[in-house]
Structure 1
């Protein structure tokens, strides 16, 4: 870790990070790679970005491979798990998983509440809630006892933005996966936790507008936007042995957003 005592480093461990070709997911994959974890970099369509993530991890001394599967379509989880198994068979000591990070998601991008169609609602739920539910369920035979499941939610489950109500609902469902799976998997010493970021600088064009950036930065207690690495460090802690006594929790990683001032 940066400063202080070094994190308990996993040995010969494996991880699947969904949606890790860019943004927060990429930062998580790179962080776990630096901890010695063999990382499966999942992507939906942008193969070039996924390759860049894999190369970045390898250049930093880690190990990684990419796996493609588009969520929200028939057979999505089957496709992902087939690719995961193939990569583990080639690069790992055995086909087992230690860390699952459910990060992949889509957002409505400011769709007016009145403009949220049934089709858009169903798409959000399919990608943000249904896919991680069934991926987690289907990955349990691969997940080793003492493993880690970490879900990436959103601060929008705790403060209101009516334009993103359907997105927030899908993330609230993801938090329920964390709560209930934590109780179910306790006997196997598998922890299940959720990380809830606030506004994070993942390169969205609107954040290039100085007035918007300043206004959003001032919502956090620290007066700045989160960087993807800020979230990745929290995930890395939850993936470590140091977090073995934390499960079923939602960790606020919003930098004190909406605490008031």
Structure 2
């Protein structure tokens, strides 16, 4: 789902690309042939992910600052830019075949994870949104919803990150990086690669009751979460076991609910 039809504004018309236009079109068609979904579905999925992001924001559910719709959009643009700036003289016929299969395989995996998130998010977001007022009565049920939403969202984020890192690591040396030929939006080519290096937190962004309540539900459901807890009077300090995360002070869920 990170690979789709290229917008006309991205057509390459400057040297040294003219020489390889036909070859790149063939490479493009070959990549499309390995996709397990029609390319136009990418845009439809993006609109659906935008709705997922809006609903998750309403319950303060954002993992490590990753807005799912934005992450998917950036990943698609990143691959399009990378694809359009491939230097075809650096590829052998076998490498072209492998590259096309790799990009398509990553895109197919992302599409699967996106569809899973889109299909399931409502049945977890809605109870959290409507039942938080009486959360003390249905604490375990709401924590189960938090954990399931966390699992689907984290799987989607990690799928994109792992796929982009794989493609960039294997084929970065094949990209034509001469800035003289960068046009318009490509002037900041690959600037947003750092977005794919921020790993998702190992703990959900919200929970109900005490942290031990969520941990018990996670153990029962077999969903791994990791944190070090220091209990205070009314709040909790959580230290996720990820190198890039700093100590995070968790506020109660819906602490800024009034703004929505």
TM range (shorter): under 0.3
User: Which has the higher Rg, Structure 1 or Structure 2?
Assistant: 2
By percentage of residues, which structure has more strand? 1
Between structures 1 and 2, the one with greater helix share: 2
Relative contact order, higher structure (CA 8 A, sep 6+): 2
